[in-house]
Amino acid sequence: MKILVALSRFPYPIDKGDKLRAFYQIQGLSKYHEVHLVCIADKTPSPAEYNEVKQYCKSIEVIETGKLKRFINLGLGLFNNLPFQVNYFKSSRMKRTIEKVLKRHSIDMCYVQLVRLVGNIPFSLNTKYYLDYMDALSEGMYKRINLSRWYEKPVVKLEAKRLRDFEAKAFFFFNGYSIITESDATAFPLDIKKRMDIIPNGISSGFFNFRSFPKDKSYDIIFTGNMGYHPNVQASKYLVNRIMPLLNKQNVKICLSGTSPSIEVQNLESENVIVTGFVHDIRDYLAKAKIFVAPLFSGSGLQNKLLEAMAMGIPTITTSLANSALGARPGQEIMVCDDEESFVKAIHQLLSDPEFAREIGAKGRLYIQKNFNWEVSNDLLEKAFRKILN
């Protein structure tokens, strides 16, 4: 099978959820199929980054789009009904490039990640098209409204409505569709939901395996992720400003680790709060932490950060919203909290009872190994493609 993969970002380094999913799907599909990649990028990937992906691709086309051009596109969104993120990633050059690759290589399946790229896809009768919604983006945007500042709310509300309309319209252009979790699928109308394939994310168990953990931990608590992403920014602020002051334990050390920290996250740094920015290997920081705390009250979909922490056997605390996609058993494989008091209680319990913490961590790790596997996930994707082609 000849597969064209269309992405809104170059999938390496793996510092964002969409890049992680794309990288491991490309890696898996390349074992038995010919993969061609067309993607947008802010800048040219380094030779090392390019080669990391090239080993799995027959061809790669990177469409560099400067931020000035993107912001001009964003401004045009004031005068049309498309979601702002669709305008932001709009590229006629990408559309022409995809058309060229489709014809040159007689592509069987065009696999598009995220609805933001639908406007860049040239549809042809000679090719089948598959859309990975990933998450219910509109649902996540609606949840974000109440957490936004008063002057942000009108824009967030408008984007949520536009996204919901666009997600429904995009459905009719494709032959197949996937989403990461069943809980996100329920946000769509029934006629769309029942035709969606549930393709979960996986975890590289060989990569996130038990390593030689340092005996003395540098951090009591760690939270990781793209620190410029609004739900992660809000979670970081909640952890430092609302939970940390209530902890009785003196000198609690918190690490906020991840790429592109916003000014708000950078301002959280203090003697006891470390903000790392981009790191080359997140395992080094996870291994230095006693527990993982993710107070996520907005966003949608399966949180890779939870998979990574739990795969390393780190006892994890999160919200019922984040766990709804994960499906771990509260009090068994994970701790679930939805207010400051319960977070503080759970943190104290894990920090003061090492045996209980080890038990939660071990059960959490087994749960991830059993339920989240890239080989299984990629097999589901390949079967979905074959069903359409046959």
Model confidence pLDDT, tens digit, residues 323-367: 999 999 999 999 999 999 999 999 999 999 999 999 999 999 999
Torsion angles phi and psi, residue 120, rounded to 5? -100, 5
Report how far residue 352's alpha carbon sits from residue 222's, in angstroms, rounded to the nearest whole number.
16
Report how far residue 208's alpha carbon sits from residue 222's, in angstroms, rounded to the nearest whole number.
16
Average pLDDT over residues 105-117: 98
Q: How is residue 260 annotated by DSSP? A: S
pLDDT of residue 177: 97
Model confidence pLDDT, tens digit, residues 139-163: 989 988 988 889 999 999 999 999 9
What would the two tokens of residue 334 be?
């994970």
Compute CA distances 231 → 176, 275, 299, 337, 388, whole Å: 29, 16, 6, 16, 36
Angle between helices 137-145 and 153-170 (to 10 degrees): 160
Q: Which secondary-structure segment (H or E) carries 221?
A: strand 219-224
Please, which pLDDT band fits residue 211 given cuts at 50, 70 and 90? low
The sheet that has 254-257: what strands, in order across it? Answer: 273-277, 254-257, 219-224, 289-294, 316-318, 335-336
3-state secondary structure of 130: strand
Examine the pLDDT at 100 and tell me if it is beyond 90: yes
Residues in the chain: 390
Residue 117 CB neighbour total at 10 angstroms: 26
Examine the pLDDT at 215 and tell me if it is beyond 80: no
Report how far residue 254's alpha carbon sits from residue 267's, in angstroms, rounded to the nearest whole number.
14
Average pLDDT over residues 262-275: 97
pLDDT of residue 71: 85
pLDDT of residue 73: 87
CB neighbour burial string for 231-268, b if at least 16 within 10 angstroms, e if fewer: bbbbbbbbbbeebbeebeeeebbbbbbbbebbeebeeb
Compute CA distances 146 → 156, 157, 230, 258, whole Å: 10, 10, 13, 25
Average pLDDT over residues 231-251: 92
More confident residue, 76 or 120: 120
Q: What is the pTM of this model?
A: 0.86
pLDDT of residue 229: 92
Please give the mean pLDDT across all residues of the chain: 94
Examine the pLDDT at 212 and tell me if it is beyond 70: no
Q: In terms of DSSP H, where are the helices of 174-269?
A: 182-185, 190-193, 230-237, 263-266
Give the residue carrying structure tokens 């964002």: 16
Model confidence pLDDT, tens digit, residues 4-26: 999 999 999 998 899 999 999 99
Examine the pLDDT at 121 and tell me if it is beyond 80: yes
pLDDT of residue 206: 74
Examine the pLDDT at 210 and tell me if it is beyond 70: no
Enumerate domains of the chain plus CATH numbers.
2-202+373-389 (3.40.50.2000), 219-371 (3.40.50.2000)
Give the residue carrying structure tokens 């790429």: 259
pLDDT of residue 29: 98
pLDDT of residue 8: 98
pLDDT of residue 66: 81
Tell me how far the alpha carbon of residue 6 is from its chain's centroid.
16
Report how far residue 224's alpha carbon sits from residue 232's, in angstroms, rounded to the nearest whole number.
8
